[in-house]
Amino acid sequence: MKRYILIALSAAILSSCGSPEKKEEMKEKEINNLLLKEWTGPYGGVPAFDKMEIADVKEAMQKGMEMHLAEIEAIANSTESPTFENVIEEMERAGEELNRAFTYYGIWSSNMSTPEFRDIQAELAPQFSEFQSKITQNEKLFFKIKALYDASQVHPYDADKQRVLDLTYKQFEMNGANLDSTKKVRYAEISKELSSLYNKFSNNVLHDEENYVTYLNEDQLGGLSDGFIKSAASIAKEKGQEGKYAITNTRSSMDPFLTYSTERELRKQVWTNYYSRGDNGDEYDNNEIIAEILKLRRERVELLGYSNYAEWRLQDRMAKNPENAMALMEAVWPAAIARVAEEVEDMQAIADKKGDKITIEPWDYRFYAEQVRKEKYDLNSDEVKQYLQLDKLTEAMFYVAGRLFNYNFTPVPDGSVPVFHEDVKVWEVTDKTSGDNIGLWYLDPYAREGKRSGAWATTYRSYTSFDGPKNVLASNNSNFVKPAAGEALLVSWDDATTFFHEFGHALHFFSSNVKYPTLNSGVRDYTEFQSQLLERWLSTDEVINQFLVHNKTGEPMPAELVAKIKKASTFNQGFATTEYLASAIMDMKFHLADPSNMDVDAFERETLEELKMPKELPMRHRTPHFGHVFSGEGYATAYYGYMWAEVLTSDAAEAFAEAPGGFYDEELAEKLVEYLFAPRNSLDPAEAYRLFRGRDAKVEALMRDRGFPVAE
């Protein structure tokens, strides 16, 4: 208690002591915990990942929250008349120590989780929720924010100030700041309950990913590539099963196995393990947790006067309301499932011709789709993989960043920048013309125990010009199966596309040119657009001819193989679109439905039946492991955002295709950076897109991209 009082007093003094530098100096004297300390070293300071200790986590997060709340209290209790500078700018400045601690916390949560950390995470989750509620429900603080906001409706600030004030006010309003005291208490209670449920949901999925492993014997390797077999053997050895071959319960292991394995019963087992995560009827089952999450979300938004969670969530997104989001998905859905029927017919014909005597099931889809690809397009995915080396793909991304953004990527010497695992590599990003440092790019490419599945991008430090420019520390994270020693890491075309996608997020971070930290926030149904757009450069001639070279001979990809890839660009779009859209529609339907006494499993099954979901494939994310939606709120009722962003992507890609210089047109690239990447959230997304394209995006471009019929 004594220490908390000391911190509170110190922060109150800081609020009136002048320069940010002086405040930082005074606060640093209080900090003993490494995770809170100011970063030192090159490149404007870097996280001390090599020195982080899990023993520091709990204290750092709790003390960081105390320090941040003390700063908030100082702002709220100041007797000075509220101004943009002493309220909004001080809020933008607050919480530096906690932000630094969260950088380390995020590494343990996503990249290096352990049972010990998960226990700490479970303990801290409700504390984080309480911390947020103490800020968003601080009546004195909101009174000042509202006074500034109301005044600005008559006499607006300049564009940056007005945007950050509008976003701040909206965040507080959406999180209960206008509620009466009784409702505020219940709102905070619900948020606290939800935070614990989100944490438990995530840990249950991670448990099932770590504990359902399929081990193969040597006579069960039919159809698998040498590289995959060597990786599977290496993983089995690490797990104490030397002489066997491990298929882990992650997409990066499951997907190639289902595509190439000739062992149908094993395909079924691997498929079942993967799509049953969180749905095994044991203590790690997520169905009851989901039902409770849905009830609490509905109750919380009803306190605010909304009829359902989707209505509340989408008000500040590009879609604006669930009706607009559903209209887009329903426009695409019929064409998607119609294409699935065609794809299944093609696959069944091949199975029949081979005398396999089967009916296509979900664990057959990838395998027979690959047979169709070979027959229909004379395109072998394994042949394509020989030209997709991760190292070369990395060079290709740097080339694209150089051409479009004028960036140069240079590897930093080993040991000069701390990393949290030996697999992590770091590059310095500079402006090619001036040589100025833009930031650092960290790459953590391989799957490991304790690392969450999938691929993602994050920042350790974002750019702002507020209180002096800050360079960017950005990270890309993947789950490629680590190759055996001396072997090249070869990936599928889909995985290469995802690699480019996540790098698009990193480029969005690096190109930020905003003043205030709040303006770096993303609009969920827009923030995927920039990364989806960058995927298109993978298939440009410049990338294919220079970087897609054979891993053994070094020869460039033959022109005839390139032609086959481009000809097959709309192949399997029924599967890709339907598995995604089913998850996105389900997300929305769950949050529009009455959650009282909901049987989650039955609701999923019945909704898919109503949609006429093809029985031959599952949703991309079945509900019990749909982490986008139920391990937090970032994508809840917002998974449709990938499709919304894809409309923008297809439309923008057509602009590049039509430009004189194609995808490397200098004039259009300048507009790309100026309007679509650099502003982040300092511009309304719809306005930003119109500045780039001269008009709104059209859905017809997406339909053409996927080879679906376009209405005349």
Which residues sit opposite 408 in a β-bridge? 430
Residue 47 lies in a domain: yes
Three-state SS for 3?
A: helix
- Boundary residue ending a domain (237, 252, 275): 275
pTM: 0.87
Q: Do residues 156 and 243 share a domain?
A: no
Q: How far is CA 481 from CA 195, 281, 436, 504, in A?
A: 32, 29, 35, 22
Q: What is the 3-class SS of 66-87, one letter each residue? A: HHHHHHHHHHHHCCCCCCHHHH
Helix ranges (DSSP H) in 511-548: 524-527, 529-534, 541-547
**How many DSSP H helices and E strands does the chain contain?**
30, 7
Residue 445 lies in a domain: no
Q: Do residues 64 and 142 share a domain?
A: yes
Residue 267 lies in a domain: yes
Q: Do residues 66 and 169 share a domain?
A: yes
Query: What tokens does 476 get?
Result: 């890309």
Q: Do residues 25 and 105 share a domain?
A: yes
DSSP code of 19?
-
Q: Do residues 149 and 267 share a domain?
A: no
Alpha-carbon span 202 to 625, nearest angstrom = 8
Q: Do residues 61 and 151 share a domain?
A: yes
Find out whether 170 and 107 touch, Cβ atoms under 8 Å. no
Q: Do residues 149 and 229 share a domain?
A: no
482 C-beta neighbours (distance < 10 Å), count:
17
Find out whether 464 and 515 touch, Cβ atoms under 8 Å. yes
Residue 118 lies in a domain: no
Query: What tokens does 75 get?
Result: 């702002």
Three-state SS for 291?
A: helix
Query: What tokens does 101 get?
Result: 């601690």
Q: Do residues 228 and 88 share a domain?
A: no
Closest by CA to 29, choosing from 17, 19, 38, is 38
Amino acid 7: pLDDT: 28
Find out whether 514 and 160 touch, Cβ atoms under 8 Å. yes
Residue 156 lies in a domain: yes
DSSP string, 542-596: HHHHHH-B-TTT-PBPPHHHHHHHHHTTTTTHHHHHHHHHHHHHHHHHHHHS--T
Which residues sit opposite 227 in a β-bridge? none
Q: Output 316-320 pairs: Cβ under 8 A, ≥24 positions apart.
A: 316/170, 316/174, 316/523, 317/523, 317/524, 317/525, 317/526, 317/638, 317/641, 318/523, 318/525, 318/526, 318/644, 318/685, 318/686, 319/525, 319/640, 319/641, 319/644
DSSP element (H, E) containing 439: strand 437-446
Q: Do residues 95 and 219 share a domain?
A: no
pLDDT, tens digit, for every residue of 478-536?
999 899 888 999 999 999 999 999 999 999 999 999 999 999 998 888 999 999 999 99
Low-confidence ranges of the chain (pLDDT < 50): 1-19, 22, 26
Q: Do residues 218 and 165 share a domain?
A: no
Closest by CA to 321, choosing from 588, 37, 601, 668, is 588
Three-state SS for 490?
A: strand
- Boundary residue ending a domain (258, 275, 292): 275
Q: How far is CA 477 from CA 217, 306, 451, 455, 635, in A?
A: 31, 37, 10, 5, 19
Amino acid 522: pLDDT: 83
Amino acid 25: pLDDT: 52
Q: How far is CA 502 from CA 13, 477, 631, in A?
A: 43, 8, 20
Closest by CA to 443, choosing from 468, 480, 469, 471, is 480
Q: Do residues 234 and 89 share a domain?
A: no
Q: Do residues 33 and 155 share a domain?
A: yes
Residue 431 lies in a domain: no
Alpha-carbon span 74 to 14, nearest angstrom = 9
Residue 157 lies in a domain: yes
pLDDT, tens digit, for every residue of 294-352?
999 999 999 999 999 999 999 989 999 999 999 999 999 999 999 999 999 999 999 99
Residue 500 lies in a domain: no
Can you state the angle between helices 139-152 and 57-77, rounded to 10 degrees?
Answer: 60
Find out whether 446 and 501 touch, Cβ atoms under 8 Å. no
Three-state SS for 682?
A: coil
* DSSP β-ladder status, 437-446 and 425-431: antiparallel
Domain span holding position 227: 212-275
- Boundary residue ending a domain (225, 245, 275): 275
Find out whether 701 and 685 touch, Cβ atoms under 8 Å. no
Quote the number of domains for the chain: 2
